[in-house]
Amino acid sequence: MKEKQAKETPERTGKLTAVLALATLISAFGSSFQYGYNVAVINSPALYMKAFYNDTYLERYSRPMEESFLTLLWSLSVSMYPFGGFFGSLMVAPLVNKLGRKGTLLFNNIFSIVPAVMMGVSEISKSYEIIIVARFIVGICAGLSSNVVPMYLGEISPKNLRGAIGIVPQLFITIGILSAQVLGIRNILGNDTGWTLMLGLTAIPAVIELLLLPFFPESPRYMLIQRGDEKIAKKGLQRLRGCEDVDAELSEMRLEDQSERAEGRLSVLALLSKRSLRWQLVSIVVMNMGQQLSGVNAIYYYADSIYAQAGVKSNDIQYVTVGTGAVNVVMTIAAVFIVEATGRRLLLLSGFLICCAASALLTVALKFQDSVAWMPYISISCVIIYVIGHAIGPSPIPYVVTTEMFRQSARPAAFMVAGSVHWLSNFTVGLVFPFLERGLGAFSFIIFSCICLVTLVYIWVVVPETKNQTFLEISQVFAKRNKVQIKLGDSDLPLTKVGDVGSDGEKVTAF
Ligand SMILES: *[C@@H]1O[C@H](CO)[C@@H](O)[C@H](O)[C@H]1NC(C)=O
């Protein structure tokens, strides 16, 4: 144990070399950016795309599409994306071991370029089915990259930079959302001639990544441990660190590998049946469901229709949408600085509280918008406050806490569970929200408000602060709830500090 803790404090501090910085930027732009871009891309051109669906149907069957069928097709077009994401996240483990981390990122671009072409030709070939299928495939791309980029970056960066570099993917996701919102402005591409191009543009980051990433090293850790190729691992590490002497870090990798092997790996099934981890597991499931079912992606998928409902003038909607995207980027940057100071629990609680209040107030504002002239401003403020609340806590923290509640041996399985819950909840919101909106109108947000409240209460009662806690301390908090005894010196519970977000490379994450 002593040895492990000594290792935790780095004697040498790694520099941010040009190779490392460029590899980070290229993989985050090539993969994470696309994830965010495809979340928001169908929002602005929704009107024109629906008209295309309707026209196509009219031409084929000589009668206009029924309203309810159009709603169904549209919510499928939106939600096939997170549904594909679910499949993508299940494909992570086999692919990263077979093709490597960089290899998977390169391979993954098939799932981006093929659907980009499909979406680009959908209008000419007069088929909305193509769009729906393409959304599923590009979802696979997102599911894969949401896991593999953090893994690749975690493995190529030196310990002291892992935390900072670990934020870069999340930042590029929000930048991707913002870019799609900017391109969606009516005068740019959000019009009846531009939308196919806008959907197809996702191929550009993919092509850039395909052209540039091959010049950067594969994860040295993967080359050394999975492939046993010491020479390439060493060469890659030398380029990443910008110095010749990397033997210490290589042997450190080997040591880590041995201790991980000794611990063994917990399968998902074993995790589900492990009593001492039961409430930790329930907690990450609740937090990931709360994160998605609180409706954050409803705002990005359907922003324009929400603002239209809130009485914003149709020409102003695009700018309000861009404004929310910008707030999201700024708050994501801010969250990086706040999270280490305040701890996780406070941010989660205040984030969900803000979202709960904002969506409740939004319901009221929507209800009275016809009778009071300035209500649209209140509605817009509510959405922006909601986005701020979500960006400081519910968006980034569940991922941090999942890393901290589980040890190395259980973490891949825990992330697999968290990732599946994340994508399936995301899918549910994408599919159900248009029907909610049609059926309940203003009151659809009351549901999100309640979900935030329930999650808030759960966190208040069950989830302990995990910042700067050892794994033993965290499991002792949970021990009573799990009705298990914690014995000191139990080999199951080593005293490793888990305060550092990016403290290991075997993380599988999903945003
Ligand atoms: C489809 O188009 C027709 C004719 O342009 C229109 O009358 C009808 O309202 C449209 N249907 C929907 C569901 O928008």
CA separation for the pair 387, 205 (Å, rounded):
26
CA separation for the pair 104, 121 (Å, rounded):
27
Distance in Å, CA 67 to ligand 1 centroid: 8
Residue from 252, 254, 249, 224 nearest 238 by CA: 249
Which secondary structure element, helix H or strand E, spans residue 442, and what is its range? none
Q: CA–CA distance from 160 to each of 149, 248, 329, 358 (Å)?
A: 18, 15, 24, 38
Asked whether 332 and 174 are in contact (CB, 8 A), the reply is yes
The residue assigned the tokens 């070939």 is: 125
For ligand 1, atom 4, which residue shows the shortest CA distance?
64
3-class secondary-structure state, position 492: coil
pLDDT value, residue 328: 94
Q: Which residues does 78 contact at the CB level (< 8 Å), separation at least 6? A: 42, 135, 301, 302, 430, 431, 434
pLDDT value, residue 129: 95
Distance in Å, CA 40 to ligand 1 centroid: 25
Residue from 335, 328, 339 nearest 303 by CA: 328
* β-sheet bridge partners, residue 470: 497
Distance in Å, CA 69 to ligand 1 centroid: 12
Q: State which of 52, 62, 65 you would mutate to test the pocket of ligand 1, scoring each by most atoms of that ligand within 8 A of its C-beta.
A: 65
Q: Which residues line ligand 1 (CB under 6 A)?
A: 54, 64-65, 67, 70
* β-sheet bridge partners, residue 497: 470
Residue from 378, 81, 23 nearest 215 by CA: 23
Residue by residue, DSSP assigns 227-293 as S--HHHHHHHHHHHHTSS--HHHHHHHHHHHHHHHHH----HHHHHT-GGGHHHHHHHHHHHHHHHH
Distance in Å, CA 461 to ligand 1 centroid: 51
Distance in Å, CA 445 to ligand 1 centroid: 28
Ligand 1 atom index nearest CA of 69: 13
Cα–chain-centroid distance for residue 84?
A: 14
Residue from 177, 204, 181, 203 nearest 395 by CA: 177
Q: What secondary structure letter does DSSP report for 32?
A: I
Dig out the tokens for 285 from the structure.
């499931």
CA separation for the pair 177, 41 (Å, rounded):
8
Distance in Å, CA 65 to ligand 1 centroid: 7
pLDDT value, residue 5: 42
CA separation for the pair 510, 31 (Å, rounded):
13
Distance in Å, CA 61 to ligand 1 centroid: 13
Cα–chain-centroid distance for residue 178?
A: 15
CA separation for the pair 108, 102 (Å, rounded):
10
CA separation for the pair 471, 5 (Å, rounded):
13
Helical H runs in 368-443? 375-392, 397-405, 411-440
Q: CA–CA distance from 240 to each of 150, 167, 213, 243 (Å)?
A: 17, 19, 13, 8
Cβ-in-10-Å burial (0-12, 13-18, 19+) of 372 comes to: exposed
Distance in Å, CA 261 to ligand 1 centroid: 62
Asked whether 319 and 384 are in contact (CB, 8 A), the reply is no
Q: CA–CA distance from 238 to each of 25, 26, 155 (Å)?
A: 19, 19, 14
pLDDT in single tens digits along all 511 residues of the chain: 334 444 444 445 788 999 999 999 999 999 999 999 999 999 999 999 999 999 999 999 999 999 999 999 999 999 999 999 999 999 988 899 899 999 999 999 999 999 999 999 999 999 999 999 999 999 999 999 998 998 899 899 988 887 778 778 988 999 999 999 999 999 999 999 999 999 999 999 999 999 999 999 999 999 998 898 999 999 999 999 999 999 999 998 898 888 878 878 788 898 999 888 999 999 999 999 999 999 999 988 998 888 888 888 888 899 999 999 999 999 988 887 787 788 889 999 999 999 999 999 999 998 888 888 888 889 899 999 999 999 988 988 888 888 888 887 888 889 889 989 999 999 999 999 999 988 988 888 999 999 999 999 999 999 998 887 877 788 888 888 888 876 554 444 444 444 443 333 333 333 3
Ligand 1 atom index nearest CA of 57: 1
Asked whether 27 and 285 are in contact (CB, 8 A), the reply is no
For ligand 1, atom 7, which residue shows the shortest CA distance?
64
pLDDT value, residue 488: 52
Ligand 1 atom index nearest CA of 64: 1
Give the global pTM.
Answer: 0.88
Ligand 1 atom index nearest CA of 67: 13
For ligand 1, atom 9, which residue shows the shortest CA distance?
64
